[in-house]
Structure 1
Amino acid sequence: MKMKNNRICQLFDIQYPIISGGMVWCSGWKLASTVSNAGGLGLIGAGSMHPETFLEHVQKCKQATDKPFGVNIPLFYPEVDKLMEIIVAEKVPVVFTSAGSPKKYTGFLKSNGIKVAQVISSLKFAVKSQDAGVDAVVAEGFEAGGHNGKEETTTMCLIPPIAEQLDIPVIAAGGIGTGKGMLAAFALGAEGVQVGSRFAITKESSAHDNFKNKIVEVDEGETVLTLKDLTAVRLVKNEFYTRVAEAEARGASTDELKELLGKRRSKRGIFEGDLAEGEIEIGQISSQIKNVPSAAEVVEQMMSEFENQKSVISNL
């Protein structure tokens, strides 16, 4: 049964307004299909996939669930046109776009009957996304893991003005991984939540066990938003982070930072489990993650806590 009068549930034809983030090296078909089967919307993270790998994950996801699912595509991806062709050919129902202008593909996707949401980190880009015709925006605060806005606007400060100014529904992201966090986002004006870090540390996530176990050990204050002059990313403090921090402190050039970052840092850290020299990308909520449940358990626990906490507040 869908949540009553919830535009995100209606838009994506899902039971619960919980979306698993399309995270590189974490969000394959297993995670996406499990979240969708549990009543949320699972996303395949295309940012780390070549077209042939992406096609395989889409087809396996279609076999694993008869529920709606989607994909997340960073628009700076070099083979994005090929991915778009696959999305249309395979009739993927939902696309979340990020890291680029929504004007380029929104019209094309919607003309093929596909729902579109754009990930943004400011009111300015939220308005531009609505003007471009997207069906919803994901407003992501700087608490989030992965690549986010360098302005360091928190989710609590980001959601209210966007929800007030836009006509389309807002999905909150950044620092949300519990039912209480979901309820707080709804109180600010969101109608759905996109959850990354909590789903990254689940049994179905394709991240390496080293990565998952490391995040379970992370304490408060052990992640830092860094590489703001290149592409802002939140990292766990490790040997690689220390080298990045030292380079930034002495004024390293963009080219030097790019060389240090390389092309495989996130894969080494997340997918291959190199905890010393890999990027360990995760959100601030990582300090609250203390186990590795199934993705279905995460959905169930979030909704149960959401409903229980809502009842508590209604009695105040």
Structure 2
Amino acid sequence: MAFSNNITRLFNIQYPIIQAGMIWASGWRLASAVSNAGGLGLIGSGSMYPDVLREHIQKCKQATQQPFGVNVPLLYPDIDKHIQIIIEEGVKIVFTSAGNPKTWTSTLKEHGIQVVHVVSSSKFALKSQEAGVDAVVAEGFEAGGHNGREETTSLVLIPAVADAVNIPVIAAGGISSGRAMAAAFALGASGVQVGSRFVATPEASSHRHFKEAIVKSGEGDTLLSLKKLAPVRLLKNAFFEAVRKAEMEGASAEELTILLGRGRAKKGMFEGLLEEGELEIGQVAALIKEIKPAADVLHEIWEEFNLVRKRMGE
């Protein structure tokens, strides 16, 4: 029986499951694999030069006939070039994050592009709604990558955002299974965005050493760090310990910037230098036990979601 709700209709997809646009992981291979499996794949543009983004969009168009989108961190230095490429290449879905949604939403909408903004509080969800976005992603404190300073968990954030806005809410942060998806729906979400679970897939462009480290990780192996810069959840390693030591000793934002240096995330997640690199991943890494194809991940989430709903009498 076909499933339909405001998220599947908005994006014209089969399942209300979105793959997050993660830096150094979400290239055209992962995005097209998820879209071909019935979800919504996103290209993560945050780690791409403009010409690389164009190449990934073009390859994704060749690899899938299904809808896909691009995730655009609004703090990206060449964002105007990214936006222009997205418009020129005819991308119809954009997820924005890490910035003010008012900046680019109207421009994107003028070109017939659906816009979704990632938020960490109901206050920012309302600002996003006022800016004219089509939906919001409520991303809880459990998530990998850059987090909200409020440190609000998904269990609290999702219902708060769902109560605050009239547009569809997509839940993110700590979601890697159908059980978690069912919980998100119970809290008021109409779809889920899954990040960490899709990193541990063959199609993700991240290094196999990073994927293997995710599978080996356990509870408590990630912590929020770099709060004086942009809060980010990291897998514990030598770099993380250096950051924690510096923070405990009262390092300034400038000192942390120097410690972070250039290309730290690329070293860890893309080049597989597990001790000196920055390893961004969510708390849910502790529940990921194997690397498997993206289509299998998506279909297992969907099947378990339906089993949970049936068990609960829906």
TM range (shorter): over 0.9
Give the structure 2 partner of residue 81 of structure 1. Answer: 80
Give the structure 1 partner of residue 94 of structure 2. Answer: 95
Distance 1:286 1:53 in 2: 28
Residue 158 (1) aligns with residue 141 (2): no
Give the structure 2 partner of residue 281 of structure 1. Answer: 280
SS in 1 for 2:115: strand
Give the structure 2 partner of residue 218 of structure 1. Answer: 217
Distance 2:2 2:235 in 1: 37
Give the structure 1 partner of residue 234 of structure 2. Answer: 235
Kindly indicate whether the alpha-carbon contact (under 8 Å) linking 2:215 and 2:289 is maintained by their aligned counterparts in 1.
yes
Distance 1:48 1:11 in 2: 27
Letter in 1 for 2:161: I
SS in 1 for 2:100: coil
Change (3 A) 1:137 1:26: same
Within 5 Å, give how 1:1-316 maps onto structure 2: 2-4=2-4, 6-314=5-313
SS in 2 for 1:131: helix
Letter in 2 for 1:7: N
1:122-149: CA deviation from partner (whole Å, max 9, x where unpaired): 0100000000000000000010000011
Kindly indicate whether the alpha-carbon contact (under 8 Å) linking 1:2 and 1:16 is maintained by their aligned counterparts in 2.
no
Distance 1:11 1:274 in 2: 40
Distance 1:97 1:41 in 2: 15
SS in 2 for 1:103: helix
Distance 1:46 1:161 in 2: 29
SS in 1 for 2:254: helix
Kindly indicate whether the alpha-carbon contact (under 8 Å) linking 2:95 and 2:118 is maintained by their aligned counterparts in 1.
yes
1:257-315: CA deviation from partner (whole Å, max 9, x where unpaired): 00111121110000000011001110000000010000000111000000011111118
Distance 1:235 1:82 in 2: 29
Kindly indicate whether the alpha-carbon contact (under 8 Å) linking 2:125 and 2:164 is maintained by their aligned counterparts in 1.
no
Distance 1:176 1:282 in 2: 12
Distance 1:282 1:107 in 2: 32
Letter in 2 for 1:135: D
TM-score (structure 1 length as normaliser): 0.98
Change (3 A) 1:243 1:182: same
Distance 1:143 1:263 in 2: 26
Distance 1:97 1:129 in 2: 10
Distance 1:198 1:243 in 2: 27
TM-score (structure 2 length as normaliser): 0.99
SS in 1 for 2:141: coil
Q: Which runs of 4+ in 1 moved over 4 A?
A: none
Kindly indicate whether the alpha-carbon contact (under 8 Å) linking 1:2 and 1:14 is maintained by their aligned counterparts in 2.
no
In structure 1, list runs of 5 or more residues that go unmatched. none
Distance 2:35 2:2 in 1: 13
In structure 2, list runs of 5 or more residues that go unmatched. none
